[in-house]
Amino acid sequence: MTERLRLMAVHAHPDDESSKGAAALAKYVAEGVEVMVVTCTGGERGDILNPKLQGDPEVEANLPEIRRREMAEAIRVLGVRHAWLGFVDSGLPEGDPLPPLPEGCFALQPVEKAAEPLVRLVREFRPHVMTTYDENGGYPHPDHIMCHKVAVAAFEAAGDPEAYRGTGEPWQPLKLYYNQTFSRARTEALHRAMLERGLESPYGEWLERWKNREERNITTRVPCGEYFEVRDRALLAHATQIDPDGLWFHVPLEIQREVWPTEDFELARSLVDTTIPEDDLFAGIRTACTYA
């Protein structure tokens, strides 16, 4: 059959789409793939992480609306479609003991209820591939863990005509991936490359914290080094969250492209035959679908 390939990336907050897999998204857009980013929450309970904007009363008073504008600019840079799922940020609880999550937040929603708007989007957009986080959320933010649960539930339910009646014609995505950009192997490789060149590495503390971290199974490495600059511009669009002089930009792009020119994923579900390792999220799908 002749059909345009479609990819849906499901994320928890605005800015997650730019820090996890953004260069791969830009690569696929350039190849003619139709890409949609879905953002589960508005990031309403996020902090101002860019020290250059901390203490600005206008920014503090209007952070939710500012984050929506930042998201719009990042989406423009990446060239993708975008949809808000409409849930409220849960915040990241801190303290000992941890405080309860705020009433009505995303992480406290029943999974069946929270998955419904995503099932509707899947049936409308009809992606062949979906990406999201692993069961640990990539890191244990309650919204990231909930994002995983909702994305998996939607992947499994969207093709079932008995599930979520009234949300559109059933559509079954063919593959589901977990973002694994921040692997220990990648971080160690970049860390060594910086030190070998006599440069200061930003990853020493990360690696110290990750001494006992369990490594995930990376099955798919998508070559996309030429789109790292697009990724960085999308990141910088989230000005309240990203310091342009911060850790994200310490490793020169030429070193990143030389040492680790891919963005990496873990294949979690596949309804098509494929061979591991892969270098394409659409491996096994392109034989059935070609560009219109």
Q: Are strands 81-87 and 6-11 parallel, antiparallel or unpaired?
A: unpaired
What would the two tokens of residue 36 be?
Answer: 């949609």
What would the two tokens of residue 177 be?
Answer: 């991936």
Instruction: Consult the annotation and say whether 144 binds a ligand.
Output: yes
Contacts of residue 132, Cβ cutoff 8 Å, sequence gap at least 6: 9, 10, 11, 147, 148, 151, 152, 176, 177, 178, 179
Please give the pLDDT value at position 95. 86
In a domain, 37, yes or no: yes
What are the helix (H) ranges across the chain? Answer: 16-19, 22-30, 57-61, 63-78, 111-125, 142-157, 184-196, 204-209, 228-237, 253-259
In a domain, 145, yes or no: yes
Instruction: Consult the annotation and say whether 89 binds a ligand.
Output: no
- Model confidence pLDDT, tens digit, residues 127-176: 999 999 999 998 889 999 999 999 999 999 999 999 999 999 999 999 99
In a domain, 197, yes or no: no
What would the two tokens of residue 187 be?
Answer: 């971080």
In a domain, 190, yes or no: no
- CA–CA distance, 49 with 195 (Å, rounded to integer): 27
Number of structural domains found in the chain: 1
Whole-prediction pTM: 0.96
What would the two tokens of residue 52 be?
Answer: 């250059």
- Let me know: does 84 contact 106? Beta carbons within 8 Å: no
In a domain, 290, yes or no: no
Residue 70, domain CATH? 3.40.50.10320
Please give the pLDDT value at position 213. 86
Residue 265, domain extent: 6-181+216-270
Q: Are strands 129-132 and 6-11 parallel, antiparallel or unpaired?
A: parallel
In a domain, 244, yes or no: yes
**Low-confidence residues of the chain: pLDDT under 50:** 1, 291-292
Please give the pLDDT value at position 292. 39
In a domain, 175, yes or no: yes
In a domain, 193, yes or no: no
Please give the pLDDT value at position 291. 46
The amino acid sitting at 6 is R
Q: Compute the mean pLDDT over every residue in the chain, rounded to the nearest whole number.
A: 95
Please give the pLDDT value at position 2. 60
Q: Are strands 34-41 and 129-132 parallel, antiparallel or unpaired?
A: unpaired
Phi-psi region of 92 (alpha: psi -120 to 50; beta: other; left: phi over 0): beta
- Let me know: does 12 contact 141? Beta carbons within 8 Å: yes
Please give the C-alpha separations between residue 289 and each of 6, 161, 220, 247, 272, in angstroms, as whole numbers.
Answer: 10, 23, 20, 40, 12
Please give the C-alpha separations between residue 198 and each of 191, 194, 207, 245, 254, in angstroms, as whole numbers.
Answer: 11, 6, 18, 19, 15
Peptide bond into 252 cis (omega under 30): no
Instruction: Consult the annotation and say whether 264 binds a ligand.
Output: no
- Let me know: does 176 contact 153? Beta carbons within 8 Å: no
- CA–CA distance, 9 with 20 (Å, rounded to integer): 10
